[in-house]
Structure 1
């Protein structure tokens, strides 16, 4: 089954409602939508989706804890609620654990404006489809002061391959334990600084 995923809490309730309404109008009221909880503040969302049978909150606590633990090991400072406003953004990675075989992740502050069939079709030939949005400055994505940055990426890639993580499509199961462990080792070896 294919579906749409998003990340939300009650802070972005109004934006989430706009996204859900756009999905309903453009894609249809039967389009499955999974909401990953940014944090535990989701009471308004729970009350709203009672009337939207196609929308559900992701409740796989083992998956959520697995990605919380991953982030704790990768960059514990990013989980500081007082310092980082996106302290729960990593929970979007739960999409790789399920419930959809193929999914499109959309930030809660985006809207569906047209059919997404072409994006799902691209997943027949690719594991990822991303929307290149961060064209203004690599500082939105990278620590350009890091000496490690150019050890990992050539300048031409930094200038041309920055994408916004607010819209992407992928497939379930691409980040199994071995892959997560490899990524974590890379991040802990110094790549996290970039």
Structure 2
């Protein structure tokens, strides 16, 4: 049975993708990786990732276009902050019988593909503590008051940046039916923080895939992985979670801009620069506002409601 990893990217996230691929290849030289283009601006990053890491571009680009068009038919063009995130649903129809999907704002600290071993007894895996924060950024309280889901079911919500499953477990017809259901009930979802695909993917998971497993609920628990968690301890180029006395499996800068001064910047910088044949990233220097600009902004702020 063949296994592989999917990522979604374009030229804009080249540095992120390089950091992720450097970390994957440090621990695993062989697992095949397929890139799903986020939009039409992907040729430069595709060339870089193919040359240095053996990444292949997803073959059925017609399907990706079809998926995008159906999404717009169901929801319209202004419903989501980043509708192209839904292109990751092409994972269900690609070459791998079992697969991991990984966002590019992640670096890994192990042979990450081995987590697919959990699929022996499950159909879907994820690995995060999103559920401990309640249903924010996924659902509104309506899903409970109208009994769309039970209290037990919503404890399985997850972050859409890292998950794994099996080919064709979700069909193209399933996807379009889910889009239609969700478009008919926008009151079920929490888009207040401009999340895009995460609420819809969680709805689909809870409705269509009963055999699911969150790795952090394994015996002995598992480490955290969000870069907004500041108690992780650095040991060399790895991170440890002292609350469970375990090395992190991966670190995810979800909702955090990766730039000098961000949490665990040195960790990201290390993995980004592992390949000496690639130039280091360049980050624009932030221009500090002068005192008069700051004062002007403070004056303007109370009157912003007058703008139409």
What TM-score do you get using the length of structure 2 for normalisation?
Answer: 0.55
Considering only aligned residues, what root-mean-square deviation do their CA atoms show, in Å? Answer: 2.3
The worse-fitting range, judged by mean Cα deviation, of 53-62 and 166-175 is 53-62
**Closer, same or farther: CA 140–36 of 1 in aligned 2, 3 Å:** same
Q: How does 1:13-32 map to 2 (within 5 A)?
A: 13-28=14-29, 30-32=30-32
- Picking from 110, 116, 120, the partner of 1:120 is 116
Number of corresponding residues: 186
User: Aligned equivalents of 1:127 and 1:141: distance in 2?
Assistant: 21
Q: How does 1:127-166 map to 2 (within 5 A)?
A: 127-134=123-130, 135-144=132-141, 147-148=142-143, 150-151=145-146, 152-158=148-154, 160-166=155-161
**Closer, same or farther: CA 188–136 of 1 in aligned 2, 3 Å:** closer
Whether 1:8 aligns to 2:9 is yes
CA deviation after TM superposition for structure 1 residue 141, in Å: 1.5
Whether 1:69 aligns to 2:66 is no
What TM-score do you get using the length of structure 1 for normalisation?
Answer: 0.83
C-alpha contact (below 8 Å) 2:46/2:55 kept by paired residues: no
Q: For 1:74-120, what per-residue CA distance to the aligned partner results, in whole angstroms no more than 9, with x for missing partners?
A: 3224576xxx2x23100000010112111000001111211235421
In structure 2, stretches of 5+ residues that fail to align are 190-308
Tell me the residue number matched to 1:173: 168
**Closer, same or farther: CA 143–77 of 1 in aligned 2, 3 Å:** farther
The structure with more radius of gyration? 2
Tell me the residue number matched to 2:226: none
